Amino acid sequence: MKITVTKIKKLRALTGIGIIECKQALLQTKGDIALAVDYIRKNLKLHILNNISQTTTEGFIIGLITKDLGILLEINCQTDFVARNTHLYNFANDILQYVKQHPNTNIIKIRNIFKKKLLYLINIIKENIILTQLEIIQGVFIGSYIHHNKRIGVILQSNLDNQSIMKKIAMHIAVLKPRYISKHDIPQNIIDKEYQIQKSLVQTLNKPKMILNKIINGRINKFINNITLNNQYFLLDTTKLVANYLHENNMVITKFLYLELGQNTKIY
């Protein structure tokens, strides 16, 4: 049976797979488009086995916020070209919409729910794709910022519904990467570990113990300031601390979440 170009184009529009694969499916089903679609679905594994073993080092962070929910999702693929693929972004948005209706951060469960769609997408794009991280913040007054290269995403929660200020703080977090909101949020073992590091570093200094203790305490305070949001100098006005800027605007950041592509990073 002759397989026309029109049928191949129609099947490709329906499935998104390559011209050669479409022609083969039509040959196997004697030109019946409906049967060809079923044939492609049943034989997806034949096309993806070589792709799913490939390393994924590219991808993007995508987010969604509503009046009471913030979502961040990381998807990895093999090339930056595919990271800009429309099919992949539509797939990511389908996941965000599902999570919006069924708030859940269990990435294994989400992978199982979207397994068939994912395998189908791998077949279309011809690259391995992995749903890597999924995190949410629930509650009122949530803001977000996705860096322009889509490799960093931030969502945060505050006591005020001011998207402009929250976006500025989220931008600050994306660039300066604080790990905690304030000193009180830092686990004691983190501070103890840094203390031991600084203590060992000053042992070579030939100074009185009192001076050495001051040096250690000064370095510990600098360490705390560097990793806490409130004690960092504000990215958009370096004359003041983030805490000062927030106080001027009657805002308090109660939680934030930071994801960076390929870093397995999630910080509240």
CATH of segment(s) 54-139: 3.30.479.20
Q: Quick one: pLDDT at residue 227?
A: 96
CATH label, 5-42, candidates 2.40.30.20, 1.10.8.10, 1.10.3720.10, 3.30.420.40: 1.10.8.10
Three-state secondary structure readout of 253-267: EEEEEEEECCCCCCE
Domain with CATH 3.30.479.20 in the chain: 54-139
Q: How confident is the model at residue 46 (pLDDT cuts 50, 70, 90)?
A: very low
Domain with CATH 1.10.8.10 in the chain: 5-42
* Average model confidence (pLDDT) across the chain: 88
User: Which of 42, 47, 14, 18 lies closest to 28 in space, CA to CA?
Assistant: 42
Q: How far apart are CA 174 and CA 170, in angstroms?
A: 6
Three-state secondary structure readout of 167-236: HHHHHHHHHHCCCECCHHHCCHHHHHHHHHHHHHHHCCCCCCHHHHHHHHHHHHHHHHHHHEHHHCEECC
Q: How far apart are CA 137 and CA 158, in angstroms?
A: 11
Would the pTM count as exceeding 0.85? no
Helix, strand, coil share of the chain (percent; to 5)? 50, 20, 30
Q: Say which residue the tokens 């994912």 belong to.
A: 118
Q: How confident is the model at residue 48 (pLDDT cuts 50, 70, 90)?
A: very low
